Amino acid sequence: MPNNPIQIVLANESDMLVIQQVAKQLDLDCKALSADQFLVAKSDNRILGFGRIRRYADCSEIATVGVVPEVQQKGIGTLLVKALIAKGPAELFVTCVVPDFFNKLGFKLVKQYPAVLQKKVDFCKEYDFTDEQIFVMKFTK
């Protein structure tokens, strides 16, 4: 765990290489990555984790949430998602295979969701997840 406090800050262009590398390593959504979408968790100017809000015409989604493997299970993902919720609109969706994590943060399972999120469900299937293992969830402020 880092010695200094963790700061959640807006990503900048120089952060994108690390975000891309770690997101790819973790099999996260790497489509249309843009620094202005991301928040990063940093300590000692080192990226520990990241997450973004993808805005579509009819909804917004928390996506590409990842934590560097050597500092996982330390609460960094929770800090990031809470910061994304605070930054985001009143209604946020997430497509995930870890529903318990998002449920603890106030997300609720939904059966009906904007059509654009079906692409994310299909993305998860590319990694051999079944319909029963993929969850679309919604947070409402």
pTM, 2 dp: 0.93
Q: How confident is the model at residue 2 (pLDDT cuts 50, 70, 90)?
A: low
Cα dihedral 91→94→100→102 (10° resolution):
-50
Overall number of domains in the chain: 1
**24-77 pLDDT, tens per residue?**
999 898 989 999 999 999 999 999 999 999 999 999 999 999 999 999 999 999
Flag whether 113 is in a domain.
Answer: yes
Flag whether 1 is in a domain.
Answer: no
Contact 2, 37 (CB under 8 A): no
Flag whether 2 is in a domain.
Answer: no
Flag whether 107 is in a domain.
Answer: yes
Comparing C-alpha atoms, which of 31, 17, 41 is closest to residue 61? 31
**Gap between the Cα atoms of 72 and 91, Å rounded:** 27
Q: Which domain holds residue 72?
A: 7-140
Flag whether 52 is in a domain.
Answer: yes
CATH of the domain at 16: 3.40.630.30
**88-106 pLDDT, tens per residue?**
999 999 999 989 999 999 9
H or E stretch covering 118: helix 118-125
